[in-house]
Each structure stands twice: as structure tokens, then as C-alpha cells.
Amino acid sequence: MPTVLRLAGYRFYFYSHEPNEPPHIHVDMGGGTAKFWLTPVSLSRSGGLSAEELNRLHRLVRDRQAHFLEAWHGFFGTHR
């Protein structure tokens, strides 16, 4: 599970065994989790996070989209 970023208590990462899915990023903090598609940035699923946290995470992922896509393509060697 490569960690791409740690910010404000959140861990942004992807699983190394998901290369057949479109680019996305997982986010965990405490007992909460979310998964965001990266193109376009949208929430795939979540659990244990408030609407306020999800809105904040959406902004964080959107603002760092290029960084997350670069990490995804660098790890998986794909350019979808």
C-alpha cells in the first residue's frame, strides 16, 4: 500500500493490487475511510466520515489531483 501523502491527520494511498481500476486514491483517518476517483475527482465510497470531512477531502484531492495521478501512473506504469 504505497502512501502518497499524509496531511492533516489523513493518509492518502492506493493498493498495489488495483491496477485494473481507473486511477483513484484511498483516504483513511481514525476509523473513517473514503475512496476518490481521480478523473474526474469524485467520491466512490466512504464510511465513518462526516459530510464536512468528505467535502474537505474532496477539495484536498481535487487540489492535489495532478500529484496523485503522477504517483498512480508512476507506480502502475499506466496512462489511462
Question: How many domains would you assign to the chain?
Answer: 1
Share of the chain above pLDDT 90, in %: 81
Q: In sequence order, what are the residues at sequence separation of 6 or more whose Cβ sits closer than 8 angstroms to the Cβ of residue 24?
A: 14, 18, 35, 36, 37, 38, 44, 72
List the grid coordinates of 53: 470531512
Name the band, by pLDDT with cuts 50, 70 and 90, for residue 68.
very high
pTM of this prediction? 0.92
pLDDT tens digit sequence for 4-27: 999 999 999 999 887 688 999 999
Structural domain of 52: 3-76
Q: In sequence order, what are the residues at sequence separation of 6 or more whose Cβ sits closer than 8 angstroms to the Cβ of residue 17?
A: none
Name the band, by pLDDT with cuts 50, 70 and 90, for residue 28.
very high
Name the band, by pLDDT with cuts 50, 70 and 90, for residue 79.
low
